[in-house]
Structure 1
Amino acid sequence: MKEHHEKLRVKWATERMTWKERKCNSVVWSDEKKFNLDGPDELAYKWHDLRKQKKWFSKRHSGGASVMVWACFAGTSKSPLVFLGGKQDGTKYVTFEDTLLPFAEDLPLSWGFMQDGAPCHRARVAKRWLFDNFISVLEWPPYSPDLNAIENLWGILVTSVYSHQRQFNGVDSLSECIRDAWDEINNETLDALVKSMQKRCVEVLLTKGKKIDY
């Protein structure tokens, strides 16, 4: 991360330091996550579970099938998991309308959509779909997974799915395990993640934009 990236993170944190609880609860946090049959892509501390001490997983070997999922949450509500096929691009990304739009119906009228800078998110067709559906996309600083609350939900799923160094023989059993782990995430966990955002902003300011321990 370069100095100008750190400045963008400081700007982002400064603007959100004074957000009230209602506004924090109106943010829809979204992201994709890949799960491999034979273990995580890398050490799982990147998405660690805030509820527990960090767990370290050994790096996986190359090869093997995988499952890609997308989800979002806001306040104490989470969307269903969307199981994706193949590499994501802008055209496939807009298929989330069957999940995102129904999920957003129960949110305040002024809800905002958070997504990172992945290429499929920046594709013209994806941007057009968001614009046509009047979805307000929130500004997001680059290199900032530590500020995205849904990354911690992926940490919870990684911890659950790969507990005891578990591996899988097929995508069906892996998908079922992922779905079960997602269903077990409760309202208290979601609420704690939303409430952690102000503390994250403080830590970003204290470190002058450097990566924080989330």
Structure 2
Amino acid sequence: MVWGGFSLHQRTPLYQVVGNLTGQRYRDEILAPIVLPTLQQIGPNAVFQDDNATPHRARLVNDYIQQTGVVRMDFPACSPDMNPIEHVWDELDRQVRANHQPPRNLQQLLQML
């Protein structure tokens, strides 16, 4: 699994999630080192959108988001059609599948993404 984010003028690096993503790992490996600095670069009007995946809604994640002052957009559960990142993942999938040489291993797939 990979995690990535984007805004109107920038995107985060893709992050490979190895194993199960817990709330603590989400906070420590994604929110603190990737999301928070990106939101700070965007500026004071930045709004964070994630889905309602279990790790995203863990109490320690909610506490961290409150403590850091991140503004989080309320987002209905099970609404992938409303989540713009799903369109990005779809386009990445199409581009990888259109490549004449499909990836032979995980490392090649990550490089293609």
C-alpha contact 2:39 2:48 (8 A) present in aligned 1: no
Correspondence for 1:107 among 32, 37, 42? 42
Question: What is the match of residue 25 of structure 2?
Answer: 92
Cα deviation digits, residues 120-164 of structure 1 (max 9, x gap): 111112112211211111111122111111111101100011226
Counterpart of 1:72 in structure 2 is 5
Q: Partner residue of 1:176?
A: 111
Amino acid in structure 2 at the alignment position of 1:70: W
- List per-residue Cα deviations over 1:40-70 (Å, max 9, x = no partner): xxxxxxxxxxxxxxxxxxxxxxxxxxxx111
* Structure 1 or 2: more strand by fraction: 1
Count of residue correspondences: 111
Determine the structure 1 residue equivalent to 2:83: 148
TM-score (norm 1): 0.48
Q: Which runs of 5+ in 2 are unaligned?
A: none
Q: Aligned-pair RMSD on alpha carbons?
A: 1.7
Give the corresponding residue for 1:127: 62
Higher relative contact order (CA 8 A, sep 6+): 1
* SS of match in other structure, 1:156: helix
Q: How does the TM-score come out when normalised to structure 2?
A: 0.87
Q: Which runs of 5+ in 1 are unaligned?
A: 1-67, 179-214
Q: Counterparts in 2 of 1:1-214, with a 5 A limit?
A: 68-94=1-27, 95-96=29-30, 97-163=32-98, 167-178=102-113
Identity of aligned residues (%): 26
- Which of 1 and 2 has greater Rg? 1
- The match for 1:63 is none
2:86 counterpart letter in structure 1: E
